């Protein structure tokens, strides 16, 4: 997992436009999903689409079969949960996984949809995660925003993802989710599908 973070950093460190820019921390820039029931939102999600604010500079993903497994929240104040993220590297065929703790900003809507995820070497990489939208039952699809500032260059990696409960996705649902991503108040750059075929993870 430490390797993953380092390689991602190298892959994106050359993009000067994303150096020194803060994440969107103002709730008025974005409207996260209101009334997020985190217990129902928990479980497995398959990443189907990714987009970034690195306009014209977000390379085609070299990974596939990405899934996120969110644990049930622990009812502390504020609640915490964790996510196991797994993907297969297309280049060398290896499977990466990382289990990361998440703290929820607050329990009241819309704050429950604003999370902080800790990852990386010694937990030193903090990502801001906003659940932007999801179907009413949290049973089919969701759009998630994630942003982290990577040291030492203070490179901003800002990603918008469409995820589904089912590994297979119908073309009309994919089109709908792509449209939601583009309309999400986020100046989206390149957008790519994540290959979810032939996966065993
Ligand atoms: C996949 O593996 C290649 C070769 O080891 C590496 O250069 C690349 O950064 C890896 N990509 C990811 C997303 O782990
Ligand atoms: C959230 O979902 C859980 C599990 O389905 C349910 O037991 C709980 O009542 C829900 N909470 C709210 C506030 O709707
Ligand atoms: C919660 O979100 C608000 C609004 O964006 C922000 O000002 C505050 O710092 C956040 N608190 C935590 C603990 O993340």
Q: What is the pLDDT of residues 109-162, one digit of tens each?
A: 666 899 999 998 777 899 999 999 999 999 999 999 999 988 878 888 888 999
Which residue range forms the structural domain that includes residue 48? 30-193
Q: Is residue 105 part of a domain?
A: yes
Using pLDDT thresholds of 50, 70 and 90, give the confidence band for residue 9. Answer: very low
| Positive/negative CA dihedral, 36, 38, 39, 40 | positive
189-196 mean pLDDT:
89
Number of domains in the chain: 1
Q: In the beta sheet, which residues pair with residue 98?
A: 85
Q: Measure the CA–CA gap between 141 and 30, rounded to whole angstroms.
A: 19
Q: pTM for this structure?
A: 0.87
Q: Is residue 84 part of a domain?
A: yes
Q: Is the CB of 37 under 6 A from ligand 2?
A: yes
Q: Residue 16 falls within a domain, yes or no?
A: no
CB atoms within 10 A of CB 146: 17
Q: For residues 192 and 57, what is the distance between their CA atoms, to the nearest angstrom? A: 12
Indicate whether 12 belongs to any domain. no
Residue with CA closest to ligand 2 atom 10:
37
Considering the domain boundaries, does residue 189 fall inside one?
yes
Instruction: Compute the mean pLDDT over every residue in the chain, rounded to the nearest whole number.
Output: 84
Q: Which atom of ligand 2 is nearest to the CA of 37?
A: 1
40 Cα–ligand 2 center, Å: 7
- Is residue 17 assigned to a domain? no
Tell which wins on pLDDT, 154 or 173. Answer: 173
Spatial distance between the Cα atoms of 37 and 97, rounded to a whole number of angstroms: 26
**Domain-embedded: residue 59:** yes
Q: Are 181 and 50 in contact (CB under 8 A)?
A: no
Q: 45 with 66: CB under 8 angstroms?
A: no
For ligand 3, the distance from its centroid to the CA atom of residue 78, given in whole angstroms, is: 12
Expressed in angstroms and rounded, the spacing between residue 112 Cα and the centre of ligand 2 is 13
186 — pLDDT class (breaks 50, 70, 90): low
Residue 70 located in a structural domain: yes
| CATH classification of the domain holding 134 | 2.40.128.20
Instruction: Specify the pLDDT at position 7.
Output: 43
Distance 185 CA to ligand 3 centre (A): 19
């Amino acid at each position: 997992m430490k390797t993953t973070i380092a390689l991602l950093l190298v892959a994106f460190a050359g993009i000067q436009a994303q150096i020194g820019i803060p994440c969107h921390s103002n709730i008025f820039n974005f409207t996260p999903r209101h009334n997020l029931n985190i217990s129902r939102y928990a479980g497995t999600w398959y990443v189907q689409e990714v987009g970034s604010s690195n306009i014209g500079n977000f390379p085609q993903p070299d990974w596939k079969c990405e899934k996120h497994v969110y644990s049930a929240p622990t009812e502390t104040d504020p609640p915490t949960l964790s996510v196991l993220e797994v993907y297969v590297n297309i280049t060398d065929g290896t499977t990466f996984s990382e289990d990361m703790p998440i703290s929820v900003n607050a329990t009241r809507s819309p704050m429950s949809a604003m999370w902080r995820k800790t990852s990386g070497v010694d937990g030193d990489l903090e990502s801001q995660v906003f659940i932007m939208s999801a179907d009413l039952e949290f049973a089919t699809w969701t759009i998630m925003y994630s942003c982290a500032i990577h040291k030492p260059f203070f490179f901003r990696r800002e990603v918008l993802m469409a995820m589904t409960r089912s590994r297979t996705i119908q073309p009309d649902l994919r089109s709908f989710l792509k449209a939601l991503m583009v309309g999400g108040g986020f100046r989206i750059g390149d957008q790519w599908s994540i290959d979810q075929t032939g996966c065993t993870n």
